[in-house]
Amino acid sequence: MSLEKITNPFNARHWIGNMEADYRYTLGVAGERFLKEIKENARIMGAKCPVCGVIFVPPRLYCEKCFAKLGEWVDVGKKGEVYTCTIATIDIDGKKLEKPQIYALIKFEGAHGGLIHKIGETDKVYIGMKVEAVFKPPGERKASINDIAYFKPAE
């Protein structure tokens, strides 16, 4: 059989494989403090830049605008506002979700940035909607962003 010109695509070969890897991401110096506060104190913290005065949420080690080290941490409260949102109908593998899930970027008053999280206890969401964090019971918290179960509509 001449192999000069392959016209049958099944003779054009491919090799199947995957890229195996597991990851363990340290939360970092700032991240560990942020999630510990959520786990132990049910507090959402921001970090303030001593030079620009900006409060960053999530808090970080340094100000990306002026490169100063962020030393002062502030409680930004549990209430925020929906800055933007979407309703997901399929999961990460492309399968249809049993019940659509609302995701939103939630901003906190006086702070720069925000948290991406789920919206629960409602089917409706709109930009500007006031929301409040609902924490898991203390025994179930693991120092993860999911220690906040979701944000619910607030008054």
DSSP code for 53: -
At 100, list the tokens.
């659509």
Q: Cβ of residue 30: shortest distance to another protein, in angstroms?
A: 7
CB nearer to another protein: pick between 25 and 126: 25
> Of 70, 69, 54, 66, nearest to 113 (Cα)?
54
Q: Check: CB of residue 151 under 8 Å from CB of residue 121.
A: no
Q: Closest separation between CB of residue 27 and another protein, Å?
A: 5
CB closer to another protein out of 24 and 99: 24
Report the sign of the C-alpha dihedral through residues 76, 80, 86, 90, in that order: positive
Residues 19-58 that bind another protein (CB under 8 A): 19-32, 35-36
The 3-class secondary structure across 99-123, one letter per residue, is EEEEEEEEECCCCEECEEEEECCCC
Query: Minimum CB separation from another protein for residue 90, in Å?
Result: 16
15 binds another protein (CB under 8 A): yes
In the list 52, 74, 87, 143, the residue contacting another protein (rule: CB under 8 A) is 143
Interface segment toward another protein; rule CB under 8 A; list 59-67, 75-83, 104-112, 133-141: 59-67
In the sheet that holds 45-48, the strands lie side by side as 72-75, 45-48, 55-57, 112-113
Does residue 126 interact with another protein by CB under 8 A? no
Positions touching another protein (CB under 8 A) are 3, 6, 11-32, 35-36, 60-62, 64-67, 69, 143-144
